[in-house]
Amino acid sequence: MPAMTPDQARARLRGSIVPMVSPFRDGRLDEQGLRGLIDWQIASGSHGISVAGTTGEPSALTPDERERLIAVAVEQVAGRVPMLAGTGSNNLEETLRFTRFAQAHGADAVLVIVPYYNRPSQEGMYRHFATVAAATTLPLVIYNIPGRTAANMEPATMARLRRDHPNVVGVKEANVDMQHVSRVLAECGRDFLVYSGIEALCFPMLALGGAGHVSATANVLPAEVARLYDLCAAGQWEQARDLHYRLLPLNEVLFIETNPGPLKFAMGALGRCAPEIRLPLCEPSPANKAKIRSVLAQYGL
């Protein structure tokens, strides 16, 4: 199947795109568990699936595991909703490897993180992403998460990439600076796909003209997180605002420690997957586990 064109991507890559956990069982990737989670997400109304993003612990996966994760996800999604594969790293050749693998195995788009640890200049970021964009015909979504990468891609750099590489179609902004987000849309064009990667900012970003959100909270409440987008798309802003505030306690407690530790604990408590997480991350403290359970109870979970 040919890759989505940029225009098709702008039409289809919208809504609640769930950043899936990578379920483990006895230290190994739980493929059956992943398949079940994907089916549940789609049945719950999620608009898209993403794997191997921050919530999926990509740096804790071996290269072979990461490729297997992408392949299983593509197979299980089976075209029912768009599937975005996280293919970025701080190593260009590795990023190219995963991006080419994702295209060869039928992913709909790739999510490529700003290289972490290296702290590249804007020119370095441009050259890195330009090289990746030229190596694939898939739509490419930049993943800008300065809190994890120690580097922030400026709107002008995104605009330059969009001009030079039409398959650069959007950005996941895990960025608390809403002025920055406004500048991204102003400089890159209002049809540039901007997704919130900050759970508490999903509603504000939609109000600015965002295309949707990639919210870890959707791993626990997929229907509600998808409904937040649906309400905004329908112009039902008061109902959406109410839902934004209803989701706030869960959004906050799932980040009481580094993601996805609290999230995997919550999913384990709910019987969705084993709460296994790989070092150097670990399960939350006993006090924080109690806080997570208390908040889950508020939602009747």
Quote the mean pLDDT of the chain. 96
- Across the range 181-210, mean pLDDT stands at 97
Do residues 140 and 172 make contact, with C-beta atoms less than 8 angstroms apart? no
- Across the range 227-242, mean pLDDT stands at 98
Catalytic residue among 116, 117, 126, 143: 143
Task: Supply 69's token pair.
Answer: 């994760």
**Backbone dihedral angles phi then psi of residue 170, each to the nearest 5 degrees:** -175, -170
Question: Which amino acid makes up residue 106?
Answer: G
Q: Which contacts (CB < 8 Å, 24+ apart) does range 188-195 have?
A: 188/155, 188/158, 188/159, 188/162, 189/162, 191/10, 192/158, 192/162, 193/9, 193/10, 193/13, 193/14, 193/141, 193/169, 194/170, 195/17, 195/141, 195/170, 195/171
Question: Which amino acid makes up residue 73?
Answer: A
What's the rounded Cα separation, in Å, for the pair 111 and 129? Answer: 11
Among residues 257, 219, 266, 274, which one has the least CA distance to residue 27?
A: 274
pLDDT at 6: 87
pLDDT in tens, 151-194: 999 999 999 999 999 999 999 999 999 999 999 999 999 999 99
pLDDT in tens, 121-138: 999 999 999 999 999 999
Enter the CATH code of domain 6-240.
3.20.20.70
| Residues in contact with 243: Cβ distance below 8 Å, sequence separation at least 6, in sequence order | 203, 224, 227, 228, 231
Q: Is 172 a catalytic residue?
A: yes
Residue with tokens 């102003």: 186
Question: Which amino acid makes up residue 179?
Answer: Q
Per DSSP, the three-state class of 13 is coil
| Residues in contact with 28: Cβ distance below 8 Å, sequence separation at least 6, in sequence order | none
Quote the strand ranges of the chain, DSSP E: 15-19, 24-25, 28-29, 48-51, 83-86, 109-113, 140-144, 168-173, 193-196, 212-213
Catalytic residue among 116, 117, 126, 172: 172
Residue with tokens 């990737």: 29
Q: Is 143 a catalytic residue?
A: yes
Per DSSP, the three-state class of 51 is strand
What's the rounded Cα separation, in Å, for the pair 86 and 70? Answer: 8
pLDDT in tens, 235-259: 999 999 999 999 999 999 999 999 9
Q: What share of the chain is helix, strand, coil (3-state, %, to 5)?
A: 50, 15, 35
What's the rounded Cα separation, in Å, for the pair 146 and 50? Answer: 20
